[in-house]
Amino acid sequence: MTGAGTENHDPMPRFARCPPRCAARIEAMTPGSLGRMILVAAAILALVGVALVVAERFPGLRIGRLPGDIKVQRGNFTFYFPLATSILVSILLTLAFWLARRR
């Protein structure tokens, strides 16, 4: 019978329905571990930023200026879309996460 008030409400918490290793990860998540994950992500982002600044000083490294990156200049307006750079970064991140997951 369908109608108002007859929805299926599952009394079990969401993590109780996932596999045991998934539930263990969810239960082990504490504010301290979340804070550490945010700090690690910030450190990685800072390292990437430093790498981009350093790469700018070497003309042989064309990060952000690859063939396939789109740049349109009209008067005082400039539109830049790093398409090829985005694809390259996506491939590199995919490989890095794939290798990390294999271990």
| pLDDT one-digit tens code per residue, 18-75 | 666 665 666 666 777 788 888 988 998 999 888 888 877 877 777 777 888 999 999 9
- What are φ and ψ of residue 19, in 5° steps? -60, 160
Average pLDDT over residues 68-88: 91
Q: Which residues contact residue 40 at a Cβ distance below 8 angstroms, ignoring those fewer than 6 apart?
A: none
Cβ–Cβ < 8 Å for 71, 78: yes
Domain boundaries, the chain: 12-61, 62-103
- pLDDT class of 102 with cuts at 50, 70, 90: confident
Average pLDDT over residues 75-87: 91
pTM: 0.51
Dihedral of CA atoms 57, 82, 85, 64 in degrees, nearest 10, equals 0
What pLDDT was estimated at residue 12? 59
